[in-house]
């Protein structure tokens, strides 16, 4: 079962890494063409993102870093955090604009499965335990040390 989780994590990470590289190469060089959108609403949305000029580079970078983090098990939770907002947008895009709900549901389901797998890593994000810390040595007065 551990191998199945690793395969899912690596394939999902490679998907986002490849998509991010495609976006960045498309934006910076224009060599790669964006995919043809199945509906006019989807095409209008993508045209608006292109017109903003900053969204696609940020999206591509988050895909590259998030996907890269997912490939390595130790940094997988960070990759999931970096990809979470994009996965929500991908799900909404495919449910409401492109008419390809299955694609959005697959991306979101894989994300949720991986988030559940790494749920223990997210506990510190939702818990706050203030701790007493001893003062730093440089903060102690010279009188307290006896110098």
Q: Is residue 147 part of a domain?
A: no
Residue 19: predicted pLDDT: 96
Q: In this structure, what are the phi and psi dihedrals at residue 46, rounded to the nearest 5 degrees?
A: -65, -35
The answer to whether residue 134 sits within a structural domain is no
Q: How far apart are CA 61 and CA 125, in angstroms?
A: 23
pLDDT in tens, 32-45: 888 899 999 999 99
The reply to whether 76 falls in a domain is yes
Q: How far is CA 112 from CA 2, 45, 62, 80, in A?
A: 17, 25, 18, 9
The answer as to whether 92 is a domain residue is: yes
69 CA to centre of own chain = 9
Encode pLDDT of 37-91 as tens digits.
999 999 999 999 999 999 999 999 999 999 999 999 899 999 999 999 999 999 9
Query: What distance in Å separates the CA atoms of residue 107 and residue 90, rounded to the nearest whole number?
Result: 8
Q: How many domains does the chain have?
A: 1
Q: Is residue 96 part of a domain?
A: yes
Residue 67 lies in a domain: yes
What is the extent of the structural domain holding 36?
2-122
What is the rounded distance in angstroms from the CA atom of residue 74 to the CA atom of residue 16? Answer: 17
Residue 108: inside a domain? yes
The helix/strand/coil state of 36 is coil
111/81 Cα distance (integer angstroms): 10
């Amino acid at each position: 079962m551990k191998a199945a989780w690793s395969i899912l994590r690596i394939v999902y990470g490679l998907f986002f890494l490849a998509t991010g590289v495609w976006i960045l190469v498309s934006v910076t060089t224009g060599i790669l063409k964006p995919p043809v959108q199945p509906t006019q609403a989807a095409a209008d949305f993508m045209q608006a993102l292109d017109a903003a000029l900053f969204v696609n580079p940020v999206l591509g970078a988050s895909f590259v870093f998030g996907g890269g983090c997912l490939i390595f098990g130790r940094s997988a939770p960070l990759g999931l955090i970096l990809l979470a907002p994009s996965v929500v947008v991908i799900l909404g895009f495919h449910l409401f604009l492109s008419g390809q709900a299955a694609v959005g549901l697959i991306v979101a389901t894989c994300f949720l499965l991986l988030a559940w797998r790494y749920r223990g890593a997210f506990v510190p994000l939702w818990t706050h335990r203030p701790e007493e810390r001893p003062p730093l040595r440089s903060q102690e007065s010279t009188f307290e040390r006896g110098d």
